[in-house]
Amino acid sequence: MPIILDKILLLIIVFAVGGLLCAIAQLLVVRTKISPARILVVFLIAGIFLETIGVFRYIREFAHAGVTVPIIGFGASLAKGAIEGAKQHGFIGAFSGGLTATALGIGIAVVSSFIVTLAFKPKTK
């Protein structure tokens, strides 16, 4: 029983943290008229920064998918890969590590977008 309660608590945390990040981004959209592309970049760099100073690990342990699913988590895993690559292979690893760590996600996104582009016609314009 307590395991189920733990999981429910975890889902509530995930919902709250993920939702909060999106609400902050939406606040920026509504208030400052910064374009969504810029906001994505800002959150991405925030993730890279937090991973670089070693804080993101603790945030991830607390909020799990609440921070790994928003783009901030993409930045963090890029940085994590680059840092681990640098540890293992020196300077070369700093260049290859980030892409290696995120290769699966980028690969899936490109291939599935390619298939969908072939298979579907846009409905509304």
Partner 1 sequence: MQAEQIKKRNKRYDKYVEAVSPKTAMLPSLAKSFWVGGLTCVIAQIIFELYTLAFPSVSEQAIIGFTLSTIIIIAVFLTGIGVFDKLGRYAGAGAFLPITGFANAMASAGMEFRSEGLIFGSQVKFFSVVGPVLVNGIVWSTVAGLIHSIINAVVG
Contact set for partner 1, span 86-105 (CB under 8 A)? 86-87, 90-91, 93-95, 97-99, 102, 104-105
2 scored as a contact of partner 1 (CB under 8 A): no
59 scored as a contact of partner 1 (CB under 8 A): no
Query: Helix crossing, 56-63 with 2-32: angle to 10°?
Result: 120
Residues shown for the chain: 125
62 scored as a contact of partner 1 (CB under 8 A): no
- Grouping H, G, I as helix, E, B as strand and the rest as coil, residue 35 is coil
Amino acid code (one letter) for 106: I
For 34, the token pair is 């910064």
Q: Count residues binding partner 1 (CB under 8 A).
A: 79
56 scored as a contact of partner 1 (CB under 8 A): no
